[in-house]
Structure 1
Amino acid sequence: MNSDMKLSVAPMLDWTDRHCRSFHRVMSARTLLYTEMVTAPALVRGGALHLLDFDLAEAPVALQLGGSDARELAQAARMGEQAGYDEINLNLGCPSDRVQSGRFGAVLMREPELVADCLSQMRDAVSIPVTAKCRIGVDDQVPEEVLPAFLEALRGAGITHVTVHARKAWLQGLSPKENRDIPPLDYALVQAMKREFPDMHLSINGGIATLDAAEEQLAAGMDGVMIGRAAYHQPADILLDADRRIFGEESEPLEAREVVARMRPYIARHLEAGGRLHQVTRHMLGLFAGKPGARGWRRVLSEGAAGKGAGLEVLDAALEPVSIEI
């Protein structure tokens, strides 16, 4: 496994689209980025190949798939490899009702043999890494019993890289949003799994909101750290210095203003192709989070970018309230 798996931005539905990834890539060359979850049926049966669209400039990028039909997942994995993705990841952690009804996501933690078959066939179908993302358990399962057995099943299927969201998923009674906050975090259990499975590359996810916290997890023995909402809402805090602090690069981090400047050509191409400004800039609202002028930046950008014909002049106007460089 490559060292770029030391830090990743979590797959997040409606958030980590190709525009978001292009924005994040400007800030960090090394952090592994993920697509939104794409269901295997949508690709194989629905022919929704546009869901695979991405720019090679975003690389390294992992395609996250959802599904429970092994042959279908294998075919979708092949499609992802042909599209140029660096990794195929199977979603075993999403708790939403829609996902459950399709028999994929966290509900599959109840069926480790099925999961192992799916992953084994996916591995056989491609030459790029196949990985998984799971919870520590679901519902009434006892994580201390279920998680090691689940990891054993994954290892038996030849899976060497797993990201563990250090919370249970409650499939009944909690919304997906509540499932990200209410079940208690158990970092100690995930760290114990790394000691129990030293041959596996284990990344930890859930509630990690700073680079300091990421470094603490790596120092505790984890192979990698996945950050979700913090990387989206405060991207500069997480990504601008990630290459230096996490990966040991010597280059100085960009300033947030420079990130905006480097996004201009990308946005211009998007507009020339008929795209709308807000499709890109909605992901940039948190760039100056916590800094002077951040509120004005967000206001001008959120109000102006959605307008018909909005162009780069809105981006320039949004920069005016930002009073200092960071």
Structure 2
Amino acid sequence: MTKLYADGAQVLAVAPMMDWTDRCCRYFHRQITRDSLLYTEMVVADAVIHGARERLLGFDACEHPVALQLGGSDPVKLAAAARIGEDYGYDEINLNVGCPSDRVQSGTFGACLMKTPELVADCVSAMKAAVRIPVTVKCRIGVDHQDPEPALDTLADQVFAAGTDALWVHARKAWLEGLSPKENREIPPLDYDRVYRLKARLPHRFIGINGGVQTLDEARGHLRHVDGVMLGRAAYHTPAVLAGADALLRGEEAGELDHAGLIDAMADYSDAHIAAGGRLGHITRHMVGLFHGLSGARRYRQILSTDANKPGARSDVLRTAFAAVGAAHESEAA
């Protein structure tokens, strides 16, 4: 087990989010927080085994610690995909037992696996036998008409018995019938106390919490009850929330985010990405919320949303957008 899940260690993480936490997003987040654990989007085990691996799994060395989230329900395939992920250099393999999308349900994995905890345990056991890095699980508190008390306890007991190093719990039910994936992120009520009770029952196991966490102050509150906190949409839409993450974990006072240095780093990364055949929009789409709530943020978003997606757009667009923020601050100070 790595120091990520060592006894007494606390972890802040950016949750795996489909269509969002790709390698460009993770590089951006890593410039804001050095210590937080970053997750890939969910990658289906079959795709890892048979697909374009570099496109699916490639990442920059600066992203460490970074975890690969897998989707699947076949222990043999998941073990093979986990082994490939370890060979690529990932620090952790995570099994998705929480995604409620139709596509995931049709493949009999994701949140529907809450109904078959024995199968989840078999998957964990196979992956643990295949790799030396931590294997973890991310789940819901239950699905559909399950009672979250026995449902979560049963899953937790099974996966820890199978050797999982950590259990990350999205503190909502998933409704597989009647709610869309977006509605499943918002409508089922949050039940943080259910996750706290799980941790109290399993004091020597790593239990992390996810769902609806908006600020680091909220994260600090959760860390009085559990071992780790995942920020999802808040980290994506308002990435500056991550600026104090490292200080929180170290028990230090948070400093100011170096916006200028961050923009310089992302401009350099953009130039390299474009030179390798990518587009500026691949990167800037993850950065539109950087100045949320600050003067000039609207103009910054406008520039990125329009100019960054034009053919031939280069990193000067990013610098121009940043300059608009600076101009707004100068105007306010005048």
Q: TM-score range by the shorter chain?
A: over 0.9
Which residue of the partner structure matches residue 2 of structure 1? 3
Provide the C-alpha distance between the structure 1 equivalents of 2:259 and 2:199, rounded to a whole number of angstroms.
36
Per the alignment, in what secondary structure is the counterpart of residue 23 of structure 1?
A: helix
Q: Superposition pairs for residues 179-218 of structure 1, below 5 Å?
A: 179-218=184-223
Which of 246, 254, 258 matches 1:255? 258
Structure 1 residue 283 and structure 2 residue 311: aligned? no
Per the alignment, in what secondary structure is the counterpart of residue 295 of structure 2?
A: coil
Structure 1 residue 130 and structure 2 residue 135: aligned? yes
The one-letter amino acid of 2:27's match is S
Check conservation: 2:267, 2:319, Cα contact below 8 A. no
Q: Report the RMSD for the aligned CA atoms in angstroms.
A: 1.5
Q: 1:250 deviation in Å?
A: 6.9
Which deviations, in whole Å up to 9, do the C-alpha atoms of 1:176-233 show, x marking residues without a partner?
A: 00000000000011001000011110000000010010000012x2100001000000
The one-letter amino acid of 2:103's match is R
Provide the C-alpha distance between the structure 2 equivalents of 1:158 and 1:167, rounded to a whole number of angstroms.
24
Change (3 A) 1:49 1:312: closer
Which of 144, 150, 155 matches 1:150? 155
Structure 1 residue 72 and structure 2 residue 77: aligned? yes
TM-score of the aligned structures, taking structure 1 as reference length: 0.96
The one-letter amino acid of 1:28's match is T
Structure 1 residue 86 and structure 2 residue 87: aligned? no
Provide the C-alpha distance between the structure 1 equivalents of 2:275 and 2:254, rounded to a whole number of angstroms.
33
The one-letter amino acid of 1:264's match is A
Which of 6, 13, 16 matches 1:11? 16
Change (3 A) 1:41 1:18: same
Q: 1:46 deviation in Å?
A: 3.7
Q: 1:12 deviation in Å?
A: 0.3
Structure 1 residue 50 and structure 2 residue 51: aligned? no
Q: Superposition pairs for residues 228-247 of structure 1, below 5 Å?
A: 228-236=232-240, 238-247=241-250
Which deviations, in whole Å up to 9, do the C-alpha atoms of 1:277-303 show, x marking residues without a partner?
A: 100111010000011110000001110
Check conservation: 2:244, 2:254, Cα contact below 8 A. no
TM-score of the aligned structures, taking structure 2 as reference length: 0.94
- Residue segments in structure 2 that go unaligned for 5+ positions in a row: none
Check conservation: 1:30, 1:243, Cα contact below 8 A. yes
Q: Superposition pairs for residues 15-54 of structure 1, below 5 Å?
A: 15-46=20-51, 48-54=53-59
Provide the C-alpha distance between the structure 2 equivalents of 1:141 and 1:245, rounded to a whole number of angstroms.
36
Provide the C-alpha distance between the structure 2 equivalents of 1:57 and 1:72, rounded to a whole number of angstroms.
28
Which of 215, 220, 231 matches 1:227? 231
Per the alignment, in what secondary structure is the counterpart of residue 69 of structure 2?
A: strand
Provide the C-alpha distance between the structure 1 equivalents of 2:147 and 2:266, rounded to a whole number of angstroms.
46
Check conservation: 1:28, 1:242, Cα contact below 8 A. yes
Q: 1:261 deviation in Å?
A: 1.6
- Residue segments in structure 1 that go unaligned for 5+ positions in a row: none
Check conservation: 1:160, 1:199, Cα contact below 8 A. no
Which of 302, 306, 318 matches 1:303? 306
Check conservation: 1:43, 1:49, Cα contact below 8 A. no
The one-letter amino acid of 1:169's match is A
